[in-house]
């Protein structure tokens, strides 16, 4: 639409010749009306500027202030002035584009009008508010709310979480991890449970399961769930060691630790999803984030569960030192890489906890065995 | 082109080609993955500049002047506000639902309902931001304030639509579009959406037929009459075509009733061409996106097949595959996941979004452009949060 006409092109430069002058044609947008004007312009190299003839006046656009719009489709070149938001020159011909590119050295410079200081401030504010919410507000609220959650609510939360964990740990990802329930094995497990809880005054009855998974782990869930993995039952050297882990998990149940964690993740997951946005469906990030949040109870919660376990074991005539024995065998066998229970063994203070278990056992105390040999064999074969 | 020679209509051209778009989208998506998603603000800006500049009504390109840092800032702002809402409100809802109803599903549902008005609000704000950063012939577009008004109207029209089982969907389309269009400005000119909602009903008829067939098929199957399941083969494609047909027709009819003073729009998209773009575009995109997982699935499938048939084939060592450590499998899985995501996103631009935009652009004309002489510039609409809320609530527009 724009005819480019070269009016004068001088011959080879000679000392006497005037400055090289080339004229081009552009479409000029004045930034006020919606009427593009076809305007001739002039390369005034002496003044280092484009001179645009527009409605009887001459506009001077210095080469140093010319900026080309980025990421344009097709090969039009659109020029703006560095400090003018609205005026534009549309350059249609390849010759003019080359001539301008050769003269305007700052053509590709881009400056955002957003102040870096403001951006940094709001970035910090966003990080701070997310941190405040995830690490302070949500935990504090979760701890408070966990105290008031009625038993049915806790049970519902535990049911949902238990199902999620069974699905998540299944290799195929389509069904749920099997629950081990050989009759004699369950009977043996129930015997340990009865022995431990006889003297306790539990708000909700326990729901105890063994999941068919090689991980050496056990965990508690809201609503009185205590769950062992097959790996832990098989790895334990005696029924007393299973009872010791059992007592520790009951400690978590009584302190409502799992309920807090579940409520915390309910508050935190949405916030983290917000941060990472639509990125890759958010699925991977959410999964990782959830792992981080769920990873552990606090040191105090672990210590409290240990203390509870020591007392409960003594009450039931069982040796608190069994937990120490169990830990020791795990570390001596170098089983760490096999995915040993996260909230027990990965603890930096494991040595302290073994010592505490030993110290909790009174000198010369007498204990009654919890299972006979046949029952112990049945428990170890609960998944067969 | 000068004023005196102004024709009585301006046609639109589309100057973009797939090659540059592919490169832009590919690099941008790679960077987005490498920066845990933060490059998306730059990617989006670059793609919009490109798409906008490709569309040239009367030969003059549109211009997108949005800024990536402005989007990042808006995102930070939205995080500050929404993190509180989402964290605390979700927690309280979860607690209430567990305490009162012993279920956590209700909590998710209520929390979802609570976000809906904000979602509509954000959609209006996002449109306002996008228009405020769009120009043609150097003149700014804009959308007047009214996001809460939009949110409440959207809620109301959705309720009406749901209560009529979707039959009054066109009514919602029309009134929401009218609300937005009537608040849209181009420089000093106000846009106006003419017509009534009933004019969209004929275009909706294929959706209704498809839905009715689907309902009949489902009802009969549910009653145990399995012989009518073949109806799905008819009802499914009919419904899909109905949706595309309605989308195109509604756009066309609404555009043809948009005016700004004596300026008018005329859209003439070809339904069959759009249907072709959707069907073949998504087909090509999906097939290409699944390529990274084909080798893994084939290998596992072959081994499983061997195992099921109990035939030992010495050429396949099952230990070689199943003996791999979990970490290797996890890494392979993550790489495949991102590859699928990347290819899907990039190719959808090349095979679906760009062809659609090109067709819609090339079939658009502006009537009585002499009225543009009366249009002058409007003031800049400062916009602290940019698309922050929309971004945070996953409200992605066409691009
Ligand atoms: Zn513990």
Residue B318 has pLDDT above 80, yes or no: no
pLDDT of residue B107: 66
Chain A's closest residue to B371, CA to CA, is A34
Chain B residue with minimum CA distance to A130:
B83
Determine which of A63-67, A85-89, A222-226, B225-229 has the lowest per-residue pLDDT on average: B225-229
Nearest to B376 among A32, A72, A113 (CB): A32
Phi, psi (deg, nearest 5) at residue A216: -90, 90
Per-residue pLDDT of B255-287, as tens digits, reads: 999 988 888 888 889 888 998 999 999 999 999
Give how far Cα A46 sits from Cα of A19, A103, A105, Å.
7, 12, 16
Interface of B with A in 51-90 (CB under 8 A): 51, 53-54, 59-61, 63, 65, 67-70, 72-73, 75-77, 79-80, 82-84, 86-88, 90
C-alpha pair distances (Å), B372 with each of A88, B13, B190, B255: 18, 19, 12, 18
Using CA of residue B354, residue B358, residue B360, residue B364, what is the dihedral sign? positive
The SS3 of residue A320 is coil
Report d(CA A367, CA A241) in Å as an integer.
13
How far is Cα A289 from Cα A299, in angstroms, rounded to an integer? 20
Residue B328 confidence (pLDDT) above 70: yes
Whole-Å CA distances, B53 to A27, A68, B46, B256: 15, 13, 11, 23
pLDDT at residue B384 in the model: 63
Q: A33 to chain B: which residues are within 8 Å by CB?
A: 137, 139, 373, 375-377
Query: What percent of chain B is modeled with pLDDT above 70?
Result: 85
Ligand 1 centroid to residue A232 C-alpha, Å: 14
CA dihedral over A192, A193, A194, A197, signed as positive or negative: positive
DSSP character at residue B191: P
Q: Which residues contact A77 (CB under 8 A, 6 or more apart)?
A: A68, A90, A91, A96, A97, A100
Chain A and chain B share a number of CB contacts under 8 A equal to: 216
How high is the pLDDT of residue B383? Answer: 66
Cα–Cα nearest to A154, from A251, A222, A254: A222
* Confidence grade of residue B388 (pLDDT, cut at 50, 70, 90): low
The count of other CB atoms within 10 Å of the CB of residue B199 is 16
pLDDT at A340: 44
Query: What pLDDT is attached to residue A111?
Result: 76
pLDDT band at A292, cuts 50/70/90? very low
Distance between CA A322 and CA A126 in Å, rounded? 48
Q: Which of A69, A119, A150 sits opposite B69 (nearest CB)?
A: A119
Residues A352 and A301 sit within 8 Å (Cβ to Cβ): no
| CA pseudo-torsion sign A358, A362, A364, A365 | negative
* The pLDDT of residue A303: 82
Higher pLDDT residue, B355 or A109?
B355
Least confident among A88-92, A161-165, B3-7, B296-300: B3-7
Check pLDDT > 80 for residue A176.
no
- Beta-carbon separation of B84 and A133 below 8 A: yes
Distance CA A237, CA B398 (A): 62
**Is residue A227 pLDDT above 80, yes or no?**
yes
| Residue B379 CB neighbours (<10 A) | 7
Burial of A82 (0-12, 13-18, 19+ CB in 10 A): middle
Cα dihedral A348, A350, A353, A359, rounded to 10, equals -130
Query: Between residues A102 and A278, which one has the greater pLDDT?
Result: A102
Question: Which secondary-structure segment (H or E) carries B343?
Answer: helix B326-348
Provide the pLDDT confidence category of residue B174 given band limits of 50, 70 and 90: very high
| Listed range (A64-78, A152-166, B345-359) with the worst mean pLDDT | A152-166
Q: Residue ranges per domain, chain A? A: 6-103, 148-380
What confidence tens digit (pLDDT) does each residue in B86-133 have?
Answer: 778 777 877 887 777 766 666 667 767 777 888 888 888 888 888 888
More confident residue, A266 or B27: B27
The confidence score (pLDDT) of residue A326 equals 82
Nearest to B78 by CA among B395, B363, B397, B346: B395
Q: What is the DSSP letter of B150?
A: H
Contacts of B386 in chain A (CB under 8 A): none
Picking from A266, A288, A339 by the largest number of B CB atoms within 10 A of its own CB, the best residue to mutate is: A266
Q: With 80 as the cut, is the pLDDT of residue B180 above it? A: yes
Query: How many helices (H) does chain A have, and how many strands (E)?
Result: 14, 11
Min Cα–Cα distance to chain B from A193, Å: 26
Judged against a pLDDT cut of 70, whether residue A296 lies above it is answered with no
Percent helix, strand and coil across chain A, each to the nearest 5: 50, 15, 35
Give contacts of B40 with chain A, Cβ < 8 Å: 277-279
Q: Say which range, A69-83, A202-216, B338-352, B370-384, has the weakest mean pLDDT.
A: B370-384
pLDDT of residue A21: 53
Provide the pLDDT for residue A198.
84
CA distance B365 to A157: 59
Dist CA A69 CA A135 (whole Å): 44
Which residues fall within 8 angstroms of residue B90, CB to CB, at 6 or more apart? A266, A267, A270, B107, B111
- Tens of pLDDT, residue by residue over B25-65, are 999 999 988 887 788 889 999 999 999 999 999 889 999 98
Whether this model's pTM surpasses 0.90: no
Model pLDDT for residues B181-207, shown as the tens digit of each residue? 999 999 888 999 999 999 999 999 999
Does residue A278 carry a pLDDT above 70? no
What's the pLDDT at B209? 92
A25 touches chain B (CB under 8 A): no
Query: CA–CA separation, A28 vs B378, rounded Å?
Result: 18
Strand A225-229 and strand A207-211: the pairing is: parallel
Residue B4 has what pLDDT? 46
Q: How far apart are CA A326 and CA A333, in angstroms?
A: 11
pLDDT of residue B349: 93
Quote the percentage of chain A above a pLDDT of 70: 80
B131 to A214, A260, A278, B137, B169: CA distances (angstroms): 58, 46, 23, 14, 25
pLDDT winner (highest mean) among A257-261, B67-71, B96-100, B205-209? B205-209
Q: According to the model, what pLDDT value does residue A288 have?
A: 46
Residues B318-337, mean pLDDT to the nearest whole number: 68
The predicted structure's pLDDT at residue B151: 92
A125-153: average pLDDT? 85
**From the CA of A359, how many Å to the nearest CA of chain B?**
40
Q: Backbone phi, then psi, for A220, in 5-degree steps?
A: -115, 150
pLDDT of residue A305: 85
Cβ atoms of B14 and B55 closer than 8 Å: yes
Give the confidence band of B314 by pLDDT, cuts at 50, 70, 90.
Answer: very low
Least confident segment among A74-83, A285-294, B149-158: A285-294
Pair B85, A135: CB distance under 8 Å: no
* Burial track B126-157 (b if 16+ CB lie within 10 A, e otherwise): bbbbbbbbbbbbbbbbbbeeebeebbebbeeb
Mean of pLDDT over chain A: 79
User: For residue A284, is pLDDT > 50?
Assistant: no
Looking at residue A203, the DSSP 8-state letter turns out to be S
Does residue B145 have a pLDDT over 70?
Answer: yes
Strands B364-367 and B263-267 come out as antiparallel
* B276's tokens: 């072709």
> A34-38, B123-127, B292-296: which range is least confident on average?
B292-296
Mean pLDDT on A186-214: 87
DSSP, collapsed to helix, strand or coil, labels residue B167 as: coil
Residues A73, B375: C-beta atoms closer than 8 Å: no
What CATH number was assigned to the domain covering residues A6-103?
2.30.29.30
Which stretches of B35-104 are DSSP H helices?
A: 40-54, 68-84, 90-101
Name the residue of chain A whose CA is nearest to B384's CA.
A114
CA distance B72 to A198: 59
Predicted ipTM of the assembly: 0.77
Q: Is A314 on the interface with B (CB under 8 A)?
A: no
pLDDT band at A316 (very low <50, low <70, confident <90, very high): confident
Alpha carbon distance B151, B118 (integer Å): 7
Q: Which string of DSSP letters, residue by residue, matches A236-283?
A: -SSHHHHHHHHHHHHHHHHHTHHHHHHHHHHHHHHHHHHHHTTGGGGH
């Amino acid at each position: 639409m724009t005819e480019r006409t070269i009016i004068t092109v001088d011959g080879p430069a000679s000392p006497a010749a005037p400055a090289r002058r080339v004229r081009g044609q552009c479409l000029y947008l004045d930034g006020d009306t919606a009427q593009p004007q076809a305007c001739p312009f002039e390369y005034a190299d002496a003044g280092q500027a484009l001179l645009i003839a527009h409605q009887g006046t001459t506009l001077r656009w210095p080469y140093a202030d010319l900026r080309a719009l980025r990421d344009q489709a097709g090969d039009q070149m659109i020029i703006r002035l560095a400090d003018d938001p609205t005026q534009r020159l549309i350059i249609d011909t390849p010759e003019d584009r080359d001539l301008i590119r050769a003269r305007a050295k700052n053509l590709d410079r881009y400056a955002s009008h957003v102040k870096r200081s403001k951006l940094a401030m709001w970035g910090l504010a966003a990080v701070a508010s997310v941190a405040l919410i995830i690490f302070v507000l949500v935990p504090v609220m979760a701890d408070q709310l966990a105290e008031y959650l009625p038993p049915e609510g806790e049970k519902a939360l535990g049911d949902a979480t238990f199902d999620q964990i069974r699905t998540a740990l299944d290799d195929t990802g389509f069904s749920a991890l099997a629950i081990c329930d050989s009759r004699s094995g369950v009977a043996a497990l129930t015997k340990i449970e009865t022995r431990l809880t006889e003297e306790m005054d539990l708000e909700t009855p326990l729901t105890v399961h063994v999941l068919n998974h090689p991980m050496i782990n056990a965990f508690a869930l809201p609503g009185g769930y205590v769950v062992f993995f097959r790996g832990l039952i098989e790895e334990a050297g005696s029924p007393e060691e299973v009872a010791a882990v059992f007592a520790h998990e009951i400690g978590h149940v009584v302190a409502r630790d799992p309920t807090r964690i579940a409520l915390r993740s309910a508050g935190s997951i949405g916030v983290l999803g917000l941060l990472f946005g639509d990125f890759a469906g958010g699925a991977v990030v959410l999964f990782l984030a959830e792992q981080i949040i769920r990873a552990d109870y606090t040191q105090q919660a672990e210590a409290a569960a240990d203390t509870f376990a020591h007392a409960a074991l003594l009450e039931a005539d069982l040796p608190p030192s069994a937990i120490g024995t169990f830990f020791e065998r795990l570390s001596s066998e170098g089983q760490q890489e096999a995915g040993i229970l996260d909230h027990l063994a990965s603890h930096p203070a494991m040595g302290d906890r073994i010592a505490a278990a030993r110290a909790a056992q009174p000198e010369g105390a007498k204990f009654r065995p919890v299972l006979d040999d046949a029952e112990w064999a049945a428990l170890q074969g609960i998944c067969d | 082109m000068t004023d005196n020679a102004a024709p009585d209509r301006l046609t639109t051209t589309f100057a973009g080609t797939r090659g540059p778009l592919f490169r832009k989208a590919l690099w941008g998506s790679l960077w987005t993955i490498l920066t845990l998603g933060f490059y998306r603000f730059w990617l989006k800006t670059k793609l919009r500049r490109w798409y906008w500049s490709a569309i040239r009504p009367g030969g003059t390109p549109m211009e997108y002047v949005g800024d990536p840092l402005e989007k990042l800032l808006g995102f930070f702002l939205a995080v500050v506000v929404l993190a509180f809402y989402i964290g605390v409100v979700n927690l309280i809802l979860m607690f209430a639902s567990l305490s009162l109803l012993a279920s956590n599903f209700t909590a998710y549902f209520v929390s979802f309902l609570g976000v809906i008005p904000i979602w509509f609000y954000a959609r209006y704000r996002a449109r306002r931001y996008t228009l405020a950063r769009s120009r043609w012939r150097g003149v700014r577009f804009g959308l007047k304030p009214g996001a809460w008004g939009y949110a409440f109207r959207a809620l109301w029209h959705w309720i009406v639509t749901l209560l009529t089982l979707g039959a009054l969907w066109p009514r919602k389309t029309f009134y929401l579009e009218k609300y937005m269009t009537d608040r849209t400005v181009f420089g000093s000119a106000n846009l106006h959406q003419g017509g009534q909602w009933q004019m969209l009903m004929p275009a909706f008829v294929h959706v209704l037929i498809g839905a009715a067939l689907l309902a009949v098929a489902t009802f009969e199957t549910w009653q145990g009459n399995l012989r009518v399941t073949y109806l799905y083969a008819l009802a499914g494609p009919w419904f899909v075509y109905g949706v595309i047909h309605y989308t195109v027709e509604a756009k066309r009819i609404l555009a043809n009733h948009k005016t700004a003073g004596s300026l008018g729009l005329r859209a003439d998209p070809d339904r069959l061409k759009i249907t072709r773009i959707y069907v073949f575009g998504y087909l090509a995109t999906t097939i290409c996106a699944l390529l990274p997982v084909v080798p893994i699935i084939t290998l596992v499938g072959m081994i499983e097949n061997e195992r099921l048939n109990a035939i030992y084939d010495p050429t396949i060592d099952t230990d070689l595959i199943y003996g791999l450590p979990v970490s290797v499998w996890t890494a392979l899985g993550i790489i495949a996941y991102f590859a699928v995501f990347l290819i899907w996103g990039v190719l959808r631009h090349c095979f679906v979004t760009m062809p659609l935009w090109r067709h819609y652009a090339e079939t658009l004309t502006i009537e009585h452009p002499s009225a543009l002489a009366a249009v002058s510039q409007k003031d800049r609409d400062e916009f602290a949060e940019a698309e922050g809320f929309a971004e945070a609530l996953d409200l992605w527009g066409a691009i």
